[in-house]
Amino acid sequence: MRFPTVLLAVALLLPTQIVAQSRQVPVVVEMFTSQGCSSCPPADSLVRDLSTRSDVLPLSLHVDYWDYLGWKDVFGSSDNTQRQRAYIASIGGRTIYTPQAVVQGQAGIVGSHGRDLETLITKFRDGGTKAQIGARRAGDTVEITIAPMQANLPRSEVHFVQYEPRAQVNILRGENAGRTLTYANVVRNWSTLRDWDGRSAVSFKAGYGKNLPVAIIVQARGNGPILGAATLR
């Protein structure tokens, strides 16, 4: 009976495609931070702690406006700075600062205030997810589905975020000179895939570039409330 053996051998020779499925995450925390900020390491430590949990997605967004202090943040981005500035119009505030945590696109606090941060995470987690997101990666393509979980959701944008789970940096100059800092969920690319009307279920595909974990975030236009998020590794 060599037939099953032959079938097995043929099957092993066929090309395989790894398929990954997404996981819905109730709460998104955006931590605006900088390697040139001496007040930021405690907030960065909070992000590392939060990154081990299943009920929250913390993202480190390194800004570039402290680079003049003597150390150019290796992850610093003017896009991250602009995103933080946009939150002034949507959630209030007089100016941008680090560390700042923005929770679910709706509330901003000092990023190192752990108790206040936990209170906001609990509040928005208990408020429930507004948009159901599913994603499936096969090769270099991600298939995404979005559906409303309640009526009258606002028009929104679908964001595609790639992040580095862990990164360690030796700081040579500036306020943190001489320190080796470890970061979690460092945003390396943030792009907007499309608009969503907030009413219809939609399915579409996106290209998968860098071999990094992905977050798919649905957020009301104008840096409004985050309606749903999912991660894909």
For residue 4, the tally of other CB atoms under 10 A from its CB is 8
- pLDDT band per the 50, 70, 90 thresholds, residue 211: confident
Residue 4 lies in a domain: no
- Phi/psi of residue 50, each to 5°? -65, -30
Q: Are 55 and 125 in contact (CB under 8 A)?
A: yes
pLDDT at position 22 is 82
Task: State which residues form the domain around 59.
Answer: 20-232
Tally of structural domains, the chain: 1
Does residue 13 surpass a pLDDT of 50? Answer: no
In a domain, 144, yes or no: yes
On whether residue 159 sits in a domain, the answer given is yes
What digits encode the pLDDT tens for the residues 62-84?
999 999 999 999 999 999 999 99
Residues in Cβ contact with 186 at an 8 Å cutoff, skipping those fewer than 6 apart: 60, 62, 75, 163, 164, 167
The verdict on residue 9 lying in a domain is: no
As a whole number, mean pLDDT of residues 131-160 equals 95
User: Over 50: is that where the pLDDT of 116 sits?
Assistant: yes
209-232 mean pLDDT:
94
In a domain, 10, yes or no: no
Beta-carbon contacts of residue 42 (< 8 Å; ≥ 6 apart): 99, 112
Is residue 11 in a domain? Answer: no
The domain that holds 90 is classified in CATH as 3.40.30.10
What percent of the chain has a predicted confidence (pLDDT) above 90?
A: 84
Residue that the structure tokens 């929770």 belong to: 103
Residue 204 binned pLDDT confidence (cut-offs 50, 70, 90): very high
The pLDDT assigned to 19 comes to 60
**What per-residue confidence (pLDDT) applies to 131?**
97
12 — pLDDT class (breaks 50, 70, 90): very low
Provide the pLDDT confidence category of residue 10 given band limits of 50, 70 and 90.
very low
Residues of the chain above pLDDT 70, percent: 92
Residue 9, pLDDT > 70, answer no
Is 8 a member of any domain? no
The answer as to whether 124 is a domain residue is yes
Phi, psi (degrees; rounded to nearest 5) at 63? -95, 170
Q: What is the DSSP letter of 68?
A: G
Which regions of the chain does DSSP assign to beta strands (E)? 19-21, 23-25, 27-33, 56-62, 100-103, 107-110, 131-138, 141-148, 156-170, 180-196, 202-207, 214-220, 226-232
State the pLDDT at residue 5.
41
Q: Are 162 and 214 in contact (CB under 8 A)?
A: yes
